[in-house]
Amino acid sequence: MVLPEKIADSVINDLYSWYEYTSLPNYTPKKPVKADLNPFPKSKANSPLCHVSVSNWCKSSGYKAFSKERTERCGRLTADVAKKLVEMLNEVKAGTFVPKYPLDNVTMKCRTCHCKGSSLEDTRGKMACWECHTKNITLVDEMENHPKI
């Protein structure tokens, strides 16, 4: 809403990737709202998708998805993401913004067939493909049931 579309896309993509790969939450409120744990459990979301992020945190922390601890976690995450976005917008304004979280090589290879302008053009993902599909894919030939190209 505040940036030209091309710059906005770059900032959004970098924000998604930052969220995906950063151990969060980092924010500690002066007065916790739902749960006062110290230290507060962190995890990497491994996805910009809420349900994946919550599932990974629950598995890592041992807390349930409908717990007060998970509610506290999501509130803290909101503060972390808002802070990061403001930092990125300030970098854009200062002319110093450079994406720091490019898509990995495996995902870039997948996108040659699966994204806009490609032969299949059947996805719009902005996250690492291997997070959901498999952790060990390096070549299309290693993928079970993948068409050979």
Q: Can you give the pLDDT at residue 138?
A: 55
- Distance CA(83)–CA(149), nearest Å, equals 43
- How large is the angle between the packed helices 68-94 and 50-61, nearest 10 degrees? 120
Mean pLDDT for the chain overall: 89
Q: Are 83 and 75 in contact (CB under 8 A)?
A: no
Q: Can you give the pLDDT at residue 133?
A: 72
Q: Let me know if 2 is exposed, middle or buried by CB neighbors in 10 A (0-12, 13-18, 19+).
A: exposed
- Distance CA(106)–CA(125), nearest Å, equals 13
Would you write out the chain's pLDDT as a tens digit for each of its 149 residues?
899 999 999 999 999 999 999 999 999 999 999 999 999 999 999 889 999 999 999 999 999 999 999 999 999 999 999 999 999 999 999 999 999 998 888 788 888 888 888 888 888 877 887 777 765 555 566 666 666 65
Alpha helices in the chain (DSSP H): 5-21, 50-61, 68-94, 105-114, 130-133
Token reading at 119: 């032969």
For the whole model, what pTM was predicted? 0.83
> Quick one: which of 136, 92, 143, 129 has its CA closest to 17?
129
